[in-house]
Amino acid sequence: MDQAVDRNTMGGTGTPLTESEKNAIIAGVLLSMLLAALDQTIVAPAMPTIGHALGHAQYLPWIVTGYLLTATAMAPLYGKISDVYGRRPTVYAAILIFLAGSLVSALAPNMLVLVIGRAIQGAGGGGLFTLAQTVIGDLVPPRERARYSAWVSGTWAVASIAGPLLGGTFAEHLHWSLIFWINIPLGLLAMVIINNPLKKLPIAAKRHRIDGLGAGLLVVATALLLLALNWGGSEYPWMSREILGLLAASAVFWAGFSLRLLRAAEPLISLEVLSNRIVLGGTASMFLLQAANIGLAVYLPVYLQSIVGLSVSESGLAMLGLLLGTVAGATFSGRMIQRFTHYKRIAMVGVLFSILCLGLLAVVAAHASLLLVEILTICIGLGSGTTFPVATVSVQNAVDRPHLGVATGVLTFLRSLGSALGVAMLGAVALGYGLPLAAGEGTLAVGQVISAEPFVMIFLVAAATLVLALIALWLMPEKALRGKAEHAAVMAE
């Protein structure tokens, strides 16, 4: 894997991209990103049908876990690979791997093959998350880039809404395999859209190599940590030897990866990137924000069902407030960044607003009306959504073009890792305060919930996590955003 690449032998055509070509590329990479995001949400409602069709229903959680493991672990690798070999072949490789996994999943004759197919899908999907934002970073100067973050947030919102609806419809009225077959034509369409325009993007790196050993250590360390976070408190007690063993093994591999970063001739993640205070602040804030948001998104429907008294479908509709609020917050932030010199204050004010709304939700949790809960969750989404464009643009603006893929990959990686940590953290709080789990299934037994106290603590812990995200933003330095002229100069280097 340690192969050098010279920019003189591989590169773009040098022909400037037209606006229509830029828009085509952005549409193509967002479509590919939508596919990867959909496959995180589309499977859940079809899982009972899949379990009945393939048997071995006890392994159903691995359909989700297998995808998340590989998607998270591979995200930073794609950033580095695209810096070395160019965006176009790396995007194509990610799409093809994702489609190969979709094909394996659709044709799966048993549960084992389906889990393997999902892991292959994740190996491609993790790249699509990273590469979509990296390619946008290539095309658009940082001063104007933030408004595209709203498109990214909108893509996630569409996946969150459309995924469960499509998954349930396919499984109930057609066939569960359509969940995976639908990816094939859409993925091929994305490849056709971006094929010619992407040829004009040059390779950023003059001469770089991939650290195979570092990549292997990172993948194993991440997989072990995610297994511990997924199984802790559900499959095994947190203090069991299985969970402690996974955490200890993960720590060993993380230590090995850290040592490799210090000793490798060219580490997988540049020390220049890791030591950048803007990158540290931006990725830390995204990590913490995502931990609070995803953890809240998992337990808010349970609160709506058990305390507010909604049905399962009604609680799903009520969640639209949080999702749409997040997209609206990201859209507002993206449009306002270029008008502010101290642009990070937009995110700081937004996070502070979310903290106050979460605190108020904790205070009124036991007796709040549905209308009040909806207003507060919309406001929480509005506030937290402002951070996504600010963090993404700040990190990308802080590095030069040869490190753009790596920095974006690290941001995507920590965002995914934060999601897993948030669910595990708030799950531990829920169990600690007596929120019951259905025996052996890892699902919440809503009918047994008689007190709002567990949800009060969940909301308070989520608020405390956002306080840490606010501190990370406050400590993050600001760097003037590059405009078109500066961006063109950086691209030409």
pLDDT tens, N- to C-terminus, the chain (493 residues):
444 444 433 344 445 667 777 777 777 778 888 887 777 777 766 777 777 777 776 677 777 778 888 888 887 788 778 777 777 888 888 889 999 999 998 888 888 888 888 889 888 888 887 888 788 877 777 767 666 766 777 777 777 777 777 777 777 778 888 888 888 888 888 888 877 777 666 555 555 667 778 878 888 888 888 888 877 776 778 788 888 999 999 999 989 988 888 887 777 777 777 788 888 898 899 889 988 888 787 788 878 877 877 776 677 677 778 888 888 888 888 778 877 778 888 999 999 999 999 999 999 888 888 888 889 989 998 998 888 888 888 888 888 777 777 788 888 888 878 877 887 788 778 777 766 544 333 444 545 556 778 888 889 999 999 999 999 999 988 887 765 544 444 444 4
State the pLDDT at residue 357. 93
Number of H helices, E strands in the chain: 20, 2
Task: Tokens for 352, please give them.
Answer: 């502070």
* Inter-residue contact 330 to 289 (CB < 8 Å): no
State the pLDDT at residue 147. 67
Phi and psi at 213, nearest 5°, equal: -65, -45
Spatial distance between the Cα atoms of 415 and 285, rounded to a whole number of angstroms? 9
Spatial distance between the Cα atoms of 232 and 427, rounded to a whole number of angstroms? 9
Q: Which residues of 383-405 are buried (b: 16+ CB within 10 A; e: fewer)?
A: bbbbbbbbbbbbbbbbbebbbbb
pTM of the model: 0.77
Q: Cβ-count burial of 137 within 10 angstroms (0-12 exposed, 13-18 middle, 19+ buried)? A: buried
State the pLDDT at residue 422. 81
Spatial distance between the Cα atoms of 78 and 202, rounded to a whole number of angstroms? 16
Task: Tokens for 347, please give them.
Answer: 């995110």
Cα of 211 vs its chain's centroid, Å: 24
State the pLDDT at residue 204. 53
Q: What is the DSSP letter of 207?
A: E
Domains of the chain listed by start with CATH number: 1-210 (1.20.1250.20), 213-267 (no CATH), 269-493 (1.20.1250.20)
Q: Cβ-count burial of 369 within 10 angstroms (0-12 exposed, 13-18 middle, 19+ buried)? A: exposed
Q: How many CA atoms lie within 13 A of 375 on its CB side?
A: 8
Single out the residue of 125, 145, 144, 124 nearest to residue 134, CA to CA.
145
* Inter-residue contact 254 to 378 (CB < 8 Å): no
What stretch of H or E contains 474?
A: helix 453-475
**Residues paired with residue 437 on neighbouring β-strands, in sequence order:** 444
Q: Cβ-count burial of 409 within 10 angstroms (0-12 exposed, 13-18 middle, 19+ buried)? A: buried
